């Protein structure tokens, strides 16, 4: 039911919303994802700094809208210094301050910076198509990896991090990603060349699964099954974004190279 409601709204937002509204949407998602991420790693400790850091991280996203490449770097530098001062004045338990400060800073890079690339990607000439292509490719990758892995998967891919994933499923995911890219070209993105489609499919088929494994590693480190419960029936926001967080920045740079920005 959640997917039935959220997916059409997402499609309408990507297809019809102007860049400014889309930027506000990404800003909200980054804020909620950072709140969830900080809570996952810090539990109920220093709740104020969790929300404060989430707000600072979300504030990074609108800077991408103004297309000034130096601003995000300057902003992250200032945020790091502000948070360093905050922890210095309110360190909490000293035996965990390095963990908490490091976790907060990881969230700024892992979520705010990576997902912030959605904004300049949307503003490219073929931005909508690139975003839809990424979503289709990653969904096809996840689906094919699950189907192939559940039916013929035997060899463990990385049992320490995700014991249910198999090598066969991973290969099926890459094949599914290429098929998803080809479908995207035929249905809504004819401007992209066939070689670019295959290359992007292969790239996202690998990178998307790495992103999934990376989030699984973080959840195991935090001893949680789901990153949160913000999305009924689907776990947390990060559980839905894990593959995309690594995918969108790479797609942005590929798109800039393919169409000259």
In DSSP notation, 1-50 reads -HHHHHHHHHHHHHHHS-HHHHHHHHHHHHHHHHHHHHHHHHTTSSHHHH
pLDDT per residue as tens digits for the range 235-258: 789 988 999 999 999 999 999 986
Nearest to 64 by CA among 19, 116, 99: 116
Contact predicate 204/137, CB 8 Å: yes
- 194-207: average pLDDT: 95
* Residue 161, SS3 per DSSP: coil
Dihedrals phi, psi of 151, to nearest 5 degrees: -95, -45
Task: Count other Cβ atoms within 10 Å, centred on residue 179.
Answer: 17
Instruction: Compute the distance between CA of residue 226 and CA of residue 220 in angstroms, rounded to an integer.
Output: 10
pTM comes to: 0.92
- Taking CA atoms, 60 is separated from 30, 53, 88, in Å, by 9, 11, 23
Q: Is the pLDDT of residue 177 over 90?
A: yes
Contact predicate 42/100, CB 8 Å: yes
Looking at 43-154, list the stretches that DSSP marks H as alpha helix, in order from N- to C-terminal side: 47-65, 70-89, 97-107, 114-116, 118-122, 127-152
pLDDT of residue 1: 58
pLDDT per residue as tens digits for the range 152-167: 999 999 999 999 999 9
**Tokens representing residue 114 in the block:** 């990576």
* Residue 204, SS3 per DSSP: helix
Q: Is the pLDDT of residue 30 over 90?
A: yes
First to last CA, the chain: 38
Q: Residue 259: pLDDT band by 50, 70, 90 thresholds?
A: low
pLDDT per residue as tens digits for the range 56-96: 999 999 999 987 778 899 999 999 999 999 999 988 788 88
Mean pLDDT over each residue of the chain, to the nearest integer: 91
- Taking CA atoms, 197 is separated from 7, 14, 81, 115, 251, in Å, by 24, 21, 42, 22, 11
DSSP class of residue 235?
B
């Amino acid at each position: 039911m959640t997917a039935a409601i959220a997916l059409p709204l997402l499609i309408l937002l990507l297809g019809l919303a102007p860049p400014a509204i889309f930027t506000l949407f990404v800003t909200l998602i980054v804020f909620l994802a950072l709140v969830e991420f900080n809570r996952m790693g810090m539990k109920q400790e220093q709740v104020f700094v969790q929300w404060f850091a989430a707000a600072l991280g979300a504030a990074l996203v609108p800077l991408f809208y103004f297309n000034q490449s130096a601003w995000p770097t300057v902003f992250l530098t200032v945020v790091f210094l502000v948070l360093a001062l905050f922890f210095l004045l309110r360190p909490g338990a000293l035996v965990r301050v390095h963990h908490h400060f490091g976790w907060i800073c990881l969230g700024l890079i892992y979520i705010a910076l990576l997902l912030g690339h959605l904004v300049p990607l949307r503003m490219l000439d073929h931005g909508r198509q690139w975003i839809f292509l990424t979503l289709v490719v990653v969904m096809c990758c996840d689906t094919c990896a699950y189907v192939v892995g559940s039916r013929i998967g035997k060899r463990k891919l990385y049992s320490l991090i995700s014991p249910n994933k198999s090598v066969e499923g991973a290969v099926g995911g890459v094949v599914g990603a290429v098929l998803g890219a080809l479908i995207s070209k035929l249905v809504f993105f004819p401007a992209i060349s066939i070689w670019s489609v295959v290359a992007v499919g292969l790239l996202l088929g690998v990178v998307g699964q790495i992103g999934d494994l990376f989030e699984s590693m973080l959840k195991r480190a935090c001893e949680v099954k789901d990153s949160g419960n913000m999305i009924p029936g689907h776990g947390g926001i990060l559980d839905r974004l894990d593959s995309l967080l690594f995918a969108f920045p790479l797609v942005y740079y590929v798109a800039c190279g393919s169409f000259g920005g």
